[in-house]
Structure 1
Amino acid sequence: MEISPELAEELIQKGLDLAYTILPKLAYAAIFYFIGRWIVRKLVKSFSVLLEKRESNPSLNNFLIGVIKALLYVSLIIGIATILGVPLTSFVAVLGAAGLAIGLALQGSLSNFAGGVLILLFKPFKVDDVIIAQGHTGTVREIGIIYTRMTTFDNKEIIIPNGGLANSDVVNMSTQPTRRVDLTVGVAYGTNIKQARETILNIFKNDERVLQEPEPVVFLNNFGDSSLDLVIRAWTEAPNLWPVYFDSMEAINVAFAEQGIEIPFPQRVVHQAKA
């Protein structure tokens, strides 16, 4: 098929007109991109320095920086699309549809993500705190955006999704400077309760780790099947809780043996009826 000179001239003219229309837009878009990218980097860097000065949680800092960076680059892309003449409503509709599809596909991860944000913002616990959560007791080693890592006292690593962690009860055993030591000791029926109480209180009085205010107390709590149960309450600084607990149990056993106070074992008395 031969092209007439008039048609060729018309096509060339249309190509030139199109180039005159598109090339300036491409040039403006390229300039806008490079200047915008430079501004985004400066803003992100300034925000990073600001967060470092506030000494916030590193995980939270990384999350906030990532969100701000993503928002700034989305704004930059929208600006470039506007310069190129892409209808803004169509562009936003595409982004919305993509966001909805991603949200449906990752709804479980998004729940954990939201939980991680809440934990990092409201700080119900922090790294190195001892907590009870999701049926586990241990020391918090890392708080991430999706998961929180704990180490149990027998050195097992527990990885808990933040979604469930943020929506369940958490017992933080590290926020208060002092803790109460709770012990229960059984003595034989017929034991002089006053003597047993004085023996126990004397142990706590001579232990420098035990606080005397509030003062330790010993109460008769229960008439058991084989023993009179004494409940013991004493306060100590949080790091000393378990050392005081175990040392006190051993000291009570030694002191009771010296005082002749019997710690009974389970026993049952059987009366046989005569025929």
Structure 2
Amino acid sequence: MRLLPALAGAVCLAFSLLVAQPVAAEDAPVEVPPTVQEMAASLQVRIDALGTLDKQIEQAPERYRDSLVNRRDDRAFRALQELGRMGQAVLSLPENDPQRDAGRQFLEGYLNIAGERVLSRIGTLEDTIDQAFARLDGLSGAERIEGEARVHALQGLRYRYYSALVEIIKACRGLSLASDSMVERFQPMLQMQTEAMVGRMEYTGIALRDLRARQSLEKDNADLKTAIATLSRQQKTDLQHLTTMIGLLEQLGVQTQEFRAVLVQQGQGLSLATLESGAITTLLEETWDTVRDSLVTRVPNFLFNLLVFFVIVVAFYMLGRVARRGIRAACERPGVKMSTLHKNTLVSITGGLVTLMGLLIALAQMGISLGPMLAGLGVAGFIVGFALQDTLGNFAAGGMILIYRPFDVDDYVEVAGVAGLVKKMSLVSTTIATIDNQILVVPNSKIWGDVIKNVTSQKLRRVDMVFGISYGDDIEKAEKILVSILEDHDSVLRQPEWKVKVHQLGDSSVNFIVRPWVKTEHYWDVYWDITREVKMRFDREGVSIPFPQRDVHIYREDA
């Protein structure tokens, strides 16, 4: 902003009217309140500094001028801040206070000149930005990046001047000063730039969609990735600039709902300003117009595609059932060793994948883009997964059980503090029937996180029994009886070899261990049969099974 000495002179003249030495009482102007006087003095200092800097710019060599102009911009913004604070101080005075009129007269001259200088500086910046954009076409690499950064800096400076000019206009309106000339020159320029920005954003959005569609086919194309990244940065910058310009237009009293609707369409999201401006209504109206036109022109094709959709879904559903039956038959062929959980999971996944494939093909036939849908499903899956952490933990434990197969259906297991026969398995839970026929549903995370005891997983089991005889009985005779009982039982295996040994000299008995090997399904029959036969043979052969004995000594003590 080139604030020439004429500006300083005008302000000095107005300032002198306020702070000049007193004259006759009847001709003396109303004094400005002390706070306003102090602000006027501070503002005068800044104006003098701007005048000095203007002279330096005119006399400086060419290589220094850009730097000096940047310094002048910074000082001009500080002067404008002083002006804003002074305007607020004047506005805070009562309406009928004569000092308010004096302050208003002082600000009137400054605001008008400042507005003109800001508009002039904006015009200079526009030319500089256009030239900078033109120079970008001949640059590449680091030079282009540096040039783009300079353009962005100039654009940021321009928007600062836009905001300053809007504040000047608002101050003029608050003080009932003329501002129509500034508004007539500034508002059309701001609206034109906003419309151009919207058009560029829409064009950039179409280009980005096209490039991203190509990227799915050319994933290794480095130039394509660079172009997408460049346009994405440009779109983000344009969104920020458009948001700034919309805010300035709203401060000038311009309706901006159509521009706010563009922000929502381009992914800026909803905000309180969007709702208050009526942009949602405009967006809904545009959406309804589009839908209505589409229904009128595309209803026949839509109905045909809908019919094709149902035909494809039903066909793939039937195909999924056939696939499930085929997989089940393959898993149950002789020689195929798979757990029941593995079979059921494989069958379910196969049928589900075939059905899902049919659904995706049907949706594509309807013209529905699968990319956003899959992204939405991913977000929904994340939310559901976060809410169902325990269920997913059970699912993961079921996957580990599926892989390592610690037990299968019809195995007798002891898991998570319960024991029984496994009746049903899934990726989430395991159903166990206890010996007394109670049904227990145990989460898989409880099973996999604890010790798993599979009682029936092996074909052979050893029956561990202990029998005691009295110390007065013949050990060899008792041993022969026990061996004879094992030899006579048909379910006791010869290999691995059984064991009958004197194991322990107890408090009341001599204890034998009897450990025959049997097939797993004969375990309890052998256990019960041998226990019964030992008691009967010991009784017949005169071998006693002693009761627990304890010696008690009684001592008498005289009183």
Q: Which TM-score bucket, shorter chain as reference? A: 0.7 to 0.9
Structure 2 residue aligned with 1:214: 496
Q: Which moved more, 1:54-63 or 1:246-255?
A: 54-63
Cα pair distance change 1:49/1:156, threshold 3 Å = closer
Judging by fraction of residues, say which structure has more strand: 1
How many residue pairs align between the two structures?
260
* 1:19 is the counterpart of 2:294: yes
Q: Paired residue for 2:387?
A: 105
Q: Are the equivalent residues in 2 in contact too, given 1:210–1:235 (CA < 8 A)?
A: yes
Q: How does 1:95-134 map to 2 (within 5 A)?
A: 95-120=377-402, 122-134=404-416
Instruction: Map residues 33-48 of structure 1 onto 2, 5 A cutoff.
Output: 33-34=309-310, 36-38=312-314, 40-41=316-317, 43-48=319-324
Q: Where does 1:1-275 land on structure 2 (aligned, <5 Å)?
A: 18-19=293-294, 23=298, 26=302, 30=306, 33-34=309-310, 36-38=312-314, 40-41=316-317, 43-55=319-331, 57=340, 59-61=344-346, 63-65=348-350, 67-69=352-354, 71-72=356-357, 75-76=360-361, 79=364, 83-84=367-368, 88=371, 90-120=372-402, 122-271=404-553
1:222 is displaced (CA, Å) by: 1.7
Q: Distance in 2 between matches of 1:15 and 1:177?
A: 72
CA–CA distance in 2 between the matches of 1:67 and 1:120? 18
The percentage of aligned residue pairs carrying the same residue is 27
Higher mean displacement: 145-154 or 100-109: 145-154
> Deviation digits for residues 120-169 of structure 1, max 9, x if unmatched?
45443222222222222211122234322222222222221122223433
SS at match of 2:464: strand
Unaligned runs of 5+ in 1: 1-13
Query: Closer, same or farther in 2 for the Cα pair 1:145/1:241, shift >3 Å?
Result: same
Tell me by how many angstroms 1:32 deviates.
6.0
Contact kept, 8 Å, 2:320 with 2:352, in 1: the verdict is no
Q: What is aligned with 2:103?
A: none
Distance 2:355 2:445 in 1: 23
Q: Take 1:154 and 1:124, find their aligned partners in 2: how far apart are those partners?
A: 24
Q: Once the 2 structures are TM-superposed, how far is the Cα of residue 93 of structure 1 from its aligned partner?
A: 3.3
Q: State the one-letter code of the partner of 1:210.
A: V
* Aligned partners of 1:116 and 1:144 also within 8 Å: yes
What secondary structure, in the 3-state scheme, does the structure 1 residue paired with 2:511 have? strand
Q: Calculate the TM-score normalised by the size of structure 1.
A: 0.78
Residues 6-60 of structure 1 deviation map (CA, whole Å, 9 limit, x = unaligned): xxxxxxxx97995399728746853663464255335413421321222454632
User: Greater shift after overlay, 207-216 or 68-77?
Assistant: 68-77
Distance 1:222 1:107, change over 3 A: same
Alpha-carbon offset, residue 256 of structure 1: 1.4
> How far apart are the structure 1 equivalents of 2:541 and 2:309?
87
Conservation of the 8 A alpha-carbon contact between 1:200 and 1:252: yes
Note closer, same or farther for the CA distance 1:16–1:180 as it changes in structure 2 (3 Å cut). closer
Moved more, 211-220 or 108-117: 108-117
Which of structures 1 and 2 has the bigger CA Rg? 2
Question: 31-40 or 221-230, which moves further after superposition?
Answer: 31-40
Q: CA deviation at 1:207?
A: 1.1
Gaps of 5+ in 2: 1-288, 333-339
**Aligned counterparts of 2:310 and 2:437: Cα–Cα separation in 1:** 51
Q: 1:22 to 1:273 in 2, by over 3 A?
A: farther
Deviates more, 1:23-32 or 1:143-152: 23-32
Distance in 1 of aligned mates of 2:355 and 2:453: 35
Alpha-carbon distance in 2 for matches of 1:16, 1:226: 96
Separation (CA, whole Å) in 2 of partners of 1:97 and 1:74: 20
d(CA) in 1 for partners of 2:291 and 2:484?
Answer: 102
Distance 1:68 1:34 in 2: 17
Residue type of the partner of 2:309? Y
Separation in structure 2 between the aligned mates of residue 80 and residue 111 of structure 1, nearest angstrom: 37
- AA aligned opposite 2:364: G
Q: Distance in 1 between matches of 2:347 and 2:479?
A: 56
CA shift at 1:248, angstroms? 0.8
How much does 1:206 deviate? 1.0
Q: Any idea what SS the aligned residue of 1:210 has? A: coil
Q: Report the residue type matching 2:458 in the other structure.
A: Q
Give how far 1:217 is off: 1.6
Conservation of the 8 A alpha-carbon contact between 2:317 and 2:358:
no
**Matched residues in 1 for 2:498 and 2:551: separation?**
35
- Give TM-score scaled by structure 2 length: 0.41
Provide the rounded CA distance (Å) in 1 between the counterparts of 2:392 and 2:496: 47
- Determine helix, strand or coil for the equivalent of 1:262: coil
The higher-RCO structure (CA 8 Å, 6+ apart) is 1
Letter of the structure 2 residue corresponding to residue 199 of structure 1: I
Helix, strand or coil: the match of 2:516?
Answer: strand
Distance 1:100 1:271, change over 3 A: same
Distance 1:199 1:126, change over 3 A: same
Cα distance between partner residues in 1 of 2:439 and 2:307: 51
Query: What is the Cα-based RMSD across aligned positions, in Å?
Result: 3.3
